[in-house]
Amino acid sequence: MEKTERIQDIFASQVFSEDVMRERLPKEVYKSLLNTIANGKEIDASIADVVAGTMKDWAIEHGATHFTHWFQPLTGVTAEKHDAFLSPVGHGKAIMEFSGKELIKGEPDASSFPSGGLRATFEARGYTAWDPASYAFIKDGSLYIPTAFCSYGGEALDTKTPLLRSMDAVNTAALRIVRLFGDTVTQRVVSTVGAEQEYFLIDAEDFKARRDLFYCGRTLFGAPAVKGQELEDHYFGTLPTRVSAYMKELDMELWRLGISAKTKHNEAAPAQHELAPIFSTTNLAVDHNLLTMEYMRKIAEKYDMVCLLAEKPFEGINGSGKHNNWSLSTDGGKNLFKPGKNPSENKEFLLFLAAVIRAVDEYQDLLRISAATAGNDCRLGGHEAPPSIISIFLGEELDTIIKSIIEGSGYSKRDTKYMSLGVKSVPTIRQDTTDRNRTSPFAFTGNKFEFRMVGSSQNIALSNIVLNTAVAEALSDFADKLEETIDFGGTLDRLITDTFKKHSRILFSGNSYSKEWEEEAKERGLSNFRTSPEAYAHFTDDKNIKLFGKFGVMSETEMRSRREIFFESYRKIKNIEARTMLEMTVRDIIPAVSKYVGALSESVNAKLAVSRSINVSAERDLIEKLSDLLASTYEAYGALERVEKTAISKSSDEEAAFYYKDSVIPRMDALRKLVDSMEILCAREVWPMPTYGDIIFRI
């Protein structure tokens, strides 16, 4: 009988974790490195060689032959360049070496990564720098060293560098606040994140048979299946056998990397699923989510499946998001957003709550931008994802508390309620103080905030950069006022009250999908950027440049480069999608439908040759409908081809992005509508690709 591996034995077995460091490093070296990790200080260069040698020996024992600096360029995915530990020593011999210098710094070629104009194409040098707060790990025979990535001039060319800067900013500001409340023990406040990941699993053969899935990761054509998710029978349903086996192996591989995959289940749409981890510090959470997406794709191949991370791979059923659960905690484990038994009297909690409300209200545009992609535009507001208007849901209890503070009235705590289900053997259930609101983009969920707008394929770094930095500004301003006052209690109360009054427009507990809310939000002065290009245009607004510059998170140059990359990425994605539609239409769909119409015509002629009295009205009706649709499809093909040529000719990425939004996408939609109508009328065996019904119910 095969021996089952114990989770506690395999968890983080491929990670150069704190336990491994404690066991293998000299005591003083371990303490120095731990101080670097715990307090965000620069590593002592004198210990680098010792750490590197120990890390190399451990990695080789676990089968590693190479090492790589693993970084996050502005492509949305990760990058790596592998070097062997091997070092020739002459006479046909070699030794395994790895120095402190190689651990701390790498020099990958930066010329082919997006830079948004930060450097000329011919300027190739870039640097990677070790992030000791993200543990090194072993994967596929290589030691992976998480790093930051910058240009020759020191500008950040990645997502991790600004993220680490934002974590330092919120730590500094939050420490000032907790000190004012008498905490002299806490040395560091960290932002923590748990990123729920939604995804689709489809059969590999279906994926290969559709050019749109292959090139774009989502379908560009597809009539609705006769059954979708309307029976709500897939959500939390029994896991299909192949999916269950896949999830089990995925869990095991993630656990080996120290990724605390906790929850797995079927999601609302057919073929859709979700994985959720336990919270970790934000830089680790970002690393872990990127690894999770990589392993989701990799392991799916072993089961003849493909994992789709596109935000809206299929029209008419739910798309996939990534719920970013964000909070702040002290190094002693205290959650600063835990309301306690009497939240109305917990002034420290109320002040941190006020900081978040102010931050989200003042920088709602940045939060929207952090979830803005070409793919997510297809998902947001689709009744499975929040709308494009940012608002905060706090729940009944906190709404009532804030209202009482604003009005200066008293607050009466609601008695704890219990529910009996009327079955003696079933325990009585304690009722929470508030329900959940699944339409809200930004919801308080007990001791954290859930930002539900992020797309499933996105790197979550930017959302957390925005949250950390915006909250840091609010906390910093609060600290300035509280540190200089002689009436701490009075100033604190006024600060909380004034903040709630000024920023209450961002609070909303109703149905965020309703037309009424859209109109009300406009009256409140809330922004509503329905598409990514509209949002991107505001990234470098003066207030945003000032925010990131104030805390050294991103310079104006770094921000302007990212703005260019946003538009460039959008332009390229829509260009690929438009070209794919054109190719599929003229090379696959039109020939298939024409052939079918020809076959129907031959059938009519054959029947009439036998007898002129045979009823062929059905065939003639189909021929007429398909012929009309075919002619219209070819016209729509030509219209799309013309606007696509115009889009390509645009001189700037920003101009092209807006042109795609305004002119190309509507023609793509028009072409799709015609093709989907033809699919419904064609015989199954002649349609040139798997249908929605084939794809989403085959697993």
Q: What is the pLDDT of residues 625-669, one digit of tens each?
A: 999 999 999 999 999 999 999 999 999 999 999 999 999 999 999
Close Cβ partners of 478 (under 8 Å, ≥ 6 residues apart)? 177, 351, 354, 355, 495
Percent of the chain with pLDDT strictly greater than 70: 94
Query: What local confidence, expressed as pLDDT, does residue 415 receive?
Result: 63
CATH of domain 166-554: 3.30.590.10
Residues contacting 76, CB < 8 A, separation 6+: 457, 458, 459, 569
Closest to 345 measured CA to CA, from 263, 425, 412 = 412
129: tokens are 């720098």
Each residue's pLDDT tens digit, 63-108: 999 999 999 998 888 999 998 987 655 555 545 678 888 888 887 7
Angle at 195 between CA 328 and CA 306, to 5 degrees: 170
Share of the chain residues as helix, strand and coil, in percent rounded to the nearest 5: 50, 15, 35
Q: Tell me the per-residue pLDDT of 139-190, one tens digit each, with 9 for 90 and over.
A: 999 999 999 998 878 888 899 999 999 999 999 999 999 999 999 999 999 9
Higher pLDDT, 681 or 103: 681
Separation between Cα atoms, residue 665 and residue 684, nearest integer Å:
28
The better pLDDT of the pair 247, 227 is held by 247
pLDDT band at 3 (very low <50, low <70, confident <90, very high): low
pLDDT in tens, 507-522: 999 989 899 999 999 9
Range(s) within the chain of domains with CATH label 3.10.20.70: 7-157
What token pair was written down for 94?
A: 């070699």
CATH of 570-696, one of 1.10.20.140, 1.20.120.1560, 1.10.357.10, 2.60.40.420: 1.20.120.1560
Closest among 321, 322, 446, 316 to 393, alpha carbons compared = 446
Specify the pLDDT at position 651: 93
Mean pLDDT, the chain, rounded, equals: 91
The token duo for 44 is: 């002592």
Q: What is the CA radius of gyration of the chain?
A: 28
Note the pLDDT of residue 423: 75
What is the predicted pLDDT for the residue at 44?
76
* Alpha helix stretches (DSSP H) within 25-145: 27-39, 48-61, 100-104
Residue intervals in the chain for CATH 1.20.120.1560: 570-696
170: Cα separation from own chain's centroid: 21
Stretch 529-544: mean pLDDT, rounded? 97
CATH code of the region 7-157 = 3.10.20.70
pLDDT tens-place string over residues 306-359:
999 999 999 999 999 999 999 999 999 999 999 988 888 999 999 999 999 999
Q: What is the pLDDT of residue 489?
A: 95
Average pLDDT rounded to a whole number, residues 378-393: 88
- In this structure, the chain runs to a length of 699
Where does CATH 3.30.590.10 sit in the chain?
166-554
pLDDT in tens, 109-141: 667 777 777 665 555 678 888 888 899 999 999
pLDDT, tens digit (0-9, with 9 covering 90-100), for 403-452: 999 988 876 676 667 777 777 676 777 766 665 667 899 999 989 999 99
